[in-house]
Amino acid sequence: MSELVEILDQGCYRRVSWVVSRDLSMRSARHRLDALSRKMTVALAEVAKPLGEVWQDISLAEAKTLAHNFAKAGIAYAHQDKFRPGIRHSHVTRFFDQFSTKVRVMTNWASTEGFLMGAAFTTSTMDRAFGVVDDKMTGIICIEDED
């Protein structure tokens, strides 16, 4: 990454890992997320290859609901039909609170016509990554689940 990027916050707690950077580059959202993923350390495994075009748009509200529920229950045990919007995980809250509401949010897995499409962000058995990009910052939060 260029000198235009400064890591502001990063951490790992059990299955939740995150990194937030100040990013003043003019690159595309996907390029910024892929560049940041190379700087990221995840809790249980390693970051896989950059996702590029696999990053898919998702609403901020949906990303928050998914991230909080996956972080609380684990991916294997969080059933989407039972997700509750009121569920909160402190590290997920910390991550999203660093951004404004005018952001582009992307994920490595999204439902398309009833099918889950995407690719692994890490070498874990299962993972969900959410990338957040605005005009000044870029961040990735990843929830992993190992068997």
Could you tell me the maximum CA-CA distance found in the chain, to the nearest angstrom?
Answer: 44
Note whether 60 and 40 are within 8 A (CB): no
State the pLDDT confidence band at 115, using cuts at 50, 70 and 90.
confident
Q: What is the average per-residue pLDDT within 129-140?
A: 96
Which DSSP state fits 12? E
- Asked if the model's pLDDT at residue 147 lies above 60, the reply is no
State the pLDDT confidence band at 133, using cuts at 50, 70 and 90.
very high
Nearest to 20 by CA among 88, 92, 68, 71: 92
pLDDT in tens, 97-107: 999 989 999 99
pLDDT in tens, 10-61: 999 988 999 999 998 889 999 999 999 999 988 888 999 889 999 999 999 9
**Tokens 């928050």 belong to residue:** 64
Q: What's the pLDDT score for residue 126?
A: 83
The domain total for the chain is: 1
Q: Which residue has the higher pLDDT, 112 or 50?
A: 50
End-to-end CA distance of the chain: 33
Bridge-partner residues for 142, per DSSP? 17, 129
Q: What's the pLDDT score for residue 145?
A: 79
For residue 38, report the phi and psi dihedrals to the nearest 5 degrees: -70, -20
**70-74, 81-85, 86-90, range with the lowest pLDDT:** 81-85
* Dihedral over alpha carbons 107, 75, 89, 133 (to 10 degrees): -10
Residue 77 belongs to domain spanning:
5-145
State the pLDDT confidence band at 80, using cuts at 50, 70 and 90.
low
Bridge-partner residues for 117, per DSSP? 110
State the pLDDT confidence band at 3, using cuts at 50, 70 and 90.
low
